[in-house]
Amino acid sequence: MKRDCSSGSQKRSAFGAGRIVLASLASHGFPSGYQDSRVKRFLSKNGLVILGFTFILSLIALLAVGLTQNKNTPENFKFGIVFDAGSSHTTMYIYKWSAEKVNDTGLVYEIEACKVKGPGISAFASNVQDIPVYLSKCMGRAKELIPKYKHHQTPVYLGATAGMRLLRMENEQSAKRILASVTSFLNSYPFNFRDARIISGSEEGAYGWITINYLLGKLQKKQNSEDPSSRKNESQETYGALDLGGASTQITFVPKDTNISSPIKFMQFRLYGWNYTVYTYSFLCYGQDQALLLKLAKDTVETPSGTLLDPCFHPGYERMVDISDLFNNVCTREYKDLFPFDKLRIQGTGDFLQCQERLHNLFPTTYCRYTSCTFNGVFMPPVHGEFGAFSAYYYTMKFLNLTSDKVTSEDMVIEKMKQYCSRPWKEVNTTYADVKEKYLSEYCFSGTYVLTLLQVYNFTDYWKHIHFMHKINDNAEAGWTLGYMLNLTNMIPAELPQPKPFSRPTYISLMVAFSLVLAIVFILGSIIFHKSSYFQK
Ligand SMILES: Nc1ncnc2c1ncn2[C@@H]1O[C@H](COP(=O)(O)OP(=O)(O)O)[C@@H](O)[C@H]1O
Ligand SMILES: [Ca+2]
């Protein structure tokens, strides 16, 4: 009878009502020592089973976690979109990188460079309603290329450069209207639109410098080499950046002597634990398209005639230019005058030396109030280190076959230009029938302009240090857009990330091993505890 009773209470205790049953047994007058020993026996028998069971379960769970963590999961990619709204055209770049390797250098890939059909956005001042159509094709491409579930976390930026800077100087309201229209259109997409703004010339120069040095692996490589304090001259490591656009041009580099007195504040960067003191300057109106207008405006003023014999175009080439287009421009309006003709006929003569002479007039060397200057009395330290030249520097020199490292002197470039400019337009036009006429007709001018600008910067005996570049290491194009995105998404840390003490597999193995030890210790502990309390009894 008693046995039946006790076995009944044991059964119920297994369902969690043990305490109530035990209390009722006590009230029925069983001795308390008898009660305790039964409870202990119950626990020592079932407790071991429960502990063993828990142990096996935890082991399986730990192994499962370890295996899941270590199996080859597909990489977690991130994307970013940057529109380069230049003076002559807009390009949309899509970048892709692995989220795990976010702080490593050189791991961002440009997966798309979508050229927006049409002119630069500053041309939409009087037809902002056309902006959605203008941008929609490339945005459609972005929707196609970026997986849908990533859209909401993909940042979109639009940076406008010199074309919009000039429009803002001419008509601030127009520039604002264009940016507002761009903003509302880009906001209508499921991406994470951040902003559409006009970037400054210094930003354009600095981000171009960051881009090339990031892609060339110049920023982070040092971490494995030496102790930062032992390196004296960081410019030996980084490349200067030369960007030539249609409306402005930038030069950015780490000068040899950063202690020289400067009227312009040097830029200070701290990247991957290193400090950089960078000189950057952006020359508005000295992009190649504006420089051509400037040259034509000056020529027209100096020899006012309806026909201009122009040595910067091939013999036999002709072009008509509206006088109003030539002078209704922030860069040329200081030369505005009254002319008895409203169209200018340009006739090419193809003479490189004469062309160069005229182009030198665009760079007056006025009085320099500082330790060293470039043209227009602008402070510039002597050029120093290796340089990467991109955008129109590259397009022009690539076409002229002058980007090879075998072109080591300025004389080699001069020889090539003399010969190229003198070629009749008819012959050039048929030889390169597939090249856009606007570009083809201007390579004589732009080649001469590149050479003259570099002479003005004092690269004459320094030519072999200029490296014309486009796509770097097959990762991404040289230009300001990548540096802009890297900065805005905090992908370049100021300090070097501390390496983790263990690799992931080591970490998981250690976790499993320690958990096992813990489980064993716990089980052994419980057994010993139960055994000792049993013997005590
Ligand atoms: N394939 C090419 N050949 C020659 N010139 C080119 C080519 N592609 C672009 N360009 C020129 O490169 C320049 C790019 O300038 P852009 O970025 O639009 O202006 P900015 O940077 O001054 O705002 C323009 O002068 C354009 O005509
Ligand atoms: Ca540009």
Q: Which strands make up the sheet holding 77-85, listed edge to edge?
A: 109-115, 90-98, 77-85, 155-160, 192-198
Which ligand is closest to the CA of 248, given by its number?
Answer: 1
| 126 domain residue, yes or no | no
**Which range marks the domain in which residue 33 is found?**
2-71+502-536
For residues 85 and 59, which has the higher predicted lDDT (pLDDT)?
A: 85
Is any atom of ligand 1 closer than 6 Å to the C-beta of 290? no
User: What is the position in ligand 1's atom list of the atom closest to the CA of 162?
Assistant: 23
Instruction: Say if 463 falls within a structural domain.
Output: no
Model pLDDT for residues 413-459, shown as the tens digit of each residue: 999 999 999 999 999 999 999 999 999 999 999 999 999 999 999 99
The tokens describing 179, both together, are: 């940016």
The verdict on residue 65 lying in a domain is yes
pLDDT tens across 92-128, in order? 999 999 887 666 655 899 999 999 999 999 999 999 9
Q: Is 164 in the pocket of ligand 1 (CB under 6 A)?
A: no
| Residue 451 within any structural domain of the chain | no
The reply to whether ligand 1 has any atom less than 6 angstroms from the CB of 25 is no
Question: Is 357 a residue of the active site?
Answer: no
Dihedral sign from CA coordinates of 504, 505, 508, 511: negative
Least trusted range by pLDDT, from 5-14, 98-107, 135-144, 379-388: 5-14
In a domain, 373, yes or no: no
Q: Which ligand is nearest to the CA of 87?
A: 1
Cβ-based neighbour number of residue 452 at 10 Å = 20
Confirm or reject: Cβ of 287 under 6 Å from ligand 1: yes
Asked if pLDDT for residue 66 goes beyond 90, the answer is: no
User: pTM of the predicted model, to two decimals?
Assistant: 0.82
- pLDDT at position 300 over 80: yes
pLDDT at 15 over 60: no
Is 35 among the domain residues? yes
Whose C-alpha lies nearest to ligand 1, atom 20?
245
Nearest alpha-carbon partner for 445 in 272, 275, 244: 244
CA 454-456-457 angle, to 5 degrees, is 65
Contact between 239 and 213 (Cβ < 8 Å)? yes
- 21-36 pLDDT, tens digit per residue, is 333 333 343 444 555 5
- Catalytically annotated residue among 204, 234, 410, 477: 204
* Mean pLDDT (whole number) for 371-381: 95
Residue 494 counted as an annotated binding residue: no
Is 256 among the domain residues?
Answer: no
Q: Is the pLDDT of residue 49 over 60?
A: yes
The answer to whether residue 529 is domain-embedded is yes
Ligand 1 in reach of 392 Cβ (< 6 A): yes
Best mutation site among 82, 83, 87 for ligand 1 pocket (most ligand atoms within 8 Å of CB): 87
How many domains, the chain? 1
Which ligand 1 atom sits nearest the alpha carbon of residue 249? 22
